[in-house]
Amino acid sequence: MIQIRHKSTGAVLLALEAESLAGAKLTGAKLQGASLQGQDLRGAYIGNADLREADLRGADFTNANMNGTALDFVNAAHSKFSGADLTDCTLAGADFTEADMQGVNLRYAKLEGANLTGANLAKSDLSMTNLRANLSAANLEGADLRAADLTSANLMNANLQNANLKSANLNCAIMTRARTGQPTAKPAGPAGRAPALAATATAGRKKVPAKPSKPWWQFWG
């Protein structure tokens, strides 16, 4: 038997006949203010649930399905959300300091005022997301930020290398010491060989036929 209690009052919010919360079916659960600190919720189904103001510090939500769940003002510092589905979630004022969110799906999510300092969001889907948040020192390498709202966001020291920022709104965003573009490629072979990055940049260009190696008059008759 697992009992999920309120972080302050200790009141039982939900009781489950299970040994672990991994893979648990918690769709639509009312868990506002719950204490889930350090819990294993890998692969859990928590869609359209209410987890506002919950204590999620150090909890593991790897590959969890949390579509449409309310996570406003949660404390999820140092938690794991790698590969989780957080599509259309509300996360206003949430604390995800140094959380592992690699490959997370946050499409259409609302993170206004959230703290993602030092969070790992590499290769995550943040397209059309409200990211008016603190993303200082966050890892956004390879992230999909198309049409994301980063108005006044703090991106100081953030890693934006290979991120897709097409149509993103960066109005008044703080970009001091943020890393953008593609990382510098090192030559893989002997001196004089073009770096791999240069090869990528020229891929797809139309090849120009080589000029004849013989004088023109030798091609007649």
Burial 51-86 (b: 16+ CB within 10 A, else e): bbbbbbbebbbbbbbbbbbbbbbbbbbbbbbbbbbb
- How many whole angstroms separate alpha carbon 101 and alpha carbon 98? 9
| DSSP classification of residue 200 | H
Asked if residue 190 belongs to a domain, the reply is no
pLDDT of residue 213: 52
Tens of pLDDT, residue by residue over 129-161, are 999 999 999 999 999 999 999 999 999 999 999
* 199 pLDDT above the threshold of 50: no
> Is residue 165 one of the residues assigned to a domain?
yes
Q: Inform me whether the pLDDT recorded for 26 exceeds 50.
A: yes
Flag whether the pTM goes above 0.75. Answer: yes
Domain containing 136: what range?
Answer: 26-182
In a domain, 193, yes or no: no
Confidence of residue 216 (pLDDT cuts 50, 70, 90): very low
Could you report the per-residue pLDDT of 83-120, keeping only the tens digit for each? 999 999 999 999 999 999 999 999 999 999 999 999 99
Residue 34 burial (10 A CB sphere; 0-12, 13-18, 19+) = buried
Residue 38 to residue 59: CA distance in whole angstroms: 4
- Give the SS3 label for residue 196: helix
Extended beta strands in the chain, E state: 2-5, 12-16
DSSP code per residue over 38-67: T-B-TT-B-TT-B-TT-B-TT-B-TT-B-T
How many other CB atoms are there within 10 angstroms of residue 172's CB atom? 10
pLDDT band at residue 74 under the 50/70/90 scheme: very high
Tokens of 185: 């490629």
Any domain includes 49: yes
CATH number of the domain that residue 80 is part of: 2.160.20.80
Could you tell me if residue 188 is inside a domain? no
Residue 51 lies in a domain: yes
Inside any domain, residue 212: no
Query: φ and ψ at 99, to 5 degrees?
Result: -80, 150
Number of domains making up the chain: 1
Local confidence band at 181 (pLDDT 50, 70, 90 cut-offs):
confident
